[in-house]
Amino acid sequence: MREGVRLGHVAGVRLSAHWSLVVVVVVVAAGLDRGILPAMSPGLSGDWYALAALVTSVAFVVTIVAHEIGHAVVAGRQGLAVHGVVIWALGGVTNIGGEAASPMAELTLSGVGPAVSLLLGAGLVGLGLAARTAGSPALLAGALVWLGALNVLLAALNALPASPLDGGRMLHALLWHLLADRARATAVTTRIGQVVGLATTIGGLYLMVAAGALEGLWIAVTGGFVLFGASAERRQAKVVASIGDRPVASLMSPMAPTVVPGWLTVHQVLAQRAALGPWPLAVVVDWRGATTGLVALGPLAALPAAQQMAVRVEDLAVPVGSVVVSDPGEPLIELLRRWPDSARWAVAVDRGRAVGALGVRELDAVMARAHRRPGRAGSSDPGLPVAAQGWTKA
């Protein structure tokens, strides 16, 4: 899930909003303004309904943020890296680096979101009922009760035992504890998620087409999201099972022959191209031997002869800050978790010196083998990549 517009920080966590959130606010506000609030408090002017609908829809987004911040705070206390929270059309995503270390830790991490929503819902319903008893305006009391009831519904939906919902992760923690096998627990919960997602999608489409209920579209989209998320987790679990605890060094190619001093001209580098080895990439180092960037060797030959004589390699190198840098001993699955889509290479650096390189082709080959071969039951499974986790809510 892409960040979209950054809104700031809450409890030290970066908060962003996806553009689709605007659709949610508009749809919820329209439903409140045209039907729900007038039925709860008839006889008011349209401006009052519009204002209350807008405030209530924004408040609903705030409660979703609270749900996600609950996940983020618990993750931080467990020592996991929290990369931010994104709010979008179907709820929110908390991007967490790594995974819970034990079934109890995962149960706590996944259960805190629905618990926050449930507590908020009960509190808002109670506050609305108290406001009604105290003689407060019916519009205010009705909006509070509606907002509270929606949060209770949100907690219930997220507690469904289907990955990637919170309930699916809670079920995963329970099965992990009972089976003492994280990989088998993942296989079961993702399969359940696929079944629930498919059934929900079909049910939503039926309501929309046969019964003419517009809500069916939202149900179908939610089901499709669950189906997609569970399928992605299942595929990535196979990759994890195949990789196991292999370090980056097991897949990288030594880079010692392909290190070039940055002060050399392009002409000087091309003159020794045959000695640089088969890799199409060279690590550029400064006079101290420290890595400063990467340069693709192939395009250098296309430069005009005059430029080859005058331009230094360091002037054409991609800065090391824009390259994925790893340690030879880093688990390969951890490198996969933080590998951006735009990156083509990773350099293994040991004590400030480049010692190896890893291309996206090698990673693709590993994942292709994993997709062709099911993961072994009982294999070492350090957990799903962050892209599959996400702690996503519908």
Supply the residues annotated as catalytic. Answer: 68
**Residue holding tokens 């080859």?**
308
Positive/negative CA dihedral, 20, 21, 23, 28: positive
Structure tokens at 120: 């908020």
Which amino acid is located at 259 in the chain? V
Q: Which helix (H) or strand (E) element contains residue 232?
A: helix 215-243
Burial class (CB in 10 A: 0-12, 13-18, 19+), 32: buried
User: Which among 143, 370, 57 is positioned nearest to 242, based on CA atoms?
Assistant: 370
Closest to 266 (Cα-Cα) out of 292, 304, 236, 240: 304
Give the C-alpha separation, 165 to 181, whole Å: 20
Whats the size of the chain, residue-wise? Answer: 394
First vs last Cα of the chain: how many Å apart? 13
CA 385 to CA 186: how far, in whole Å? 12
* Residue 302, Cβ density class (10 Å: 0-12 exposed, 13-18 middle, ≥19 buried): exposed
What's the CA gap between 376 and 366, in Å, rounded?
15
Please say whether the beta carbons of 255 and 357 come within 8 A: yes
Per DSSP, helices labelled H in 32-137 are 37-40, 46-77, 103-133
Sign of CA dihedral 203, 206, 211, 216: positive
Here the tokens at position 220 are 């179908």
Q: Give the strand pairing for 91-97 and 253-254.
A: unpaired
The residues pairing with 86 across neighbouring beta strands, listed in sequence order, are 16, 93
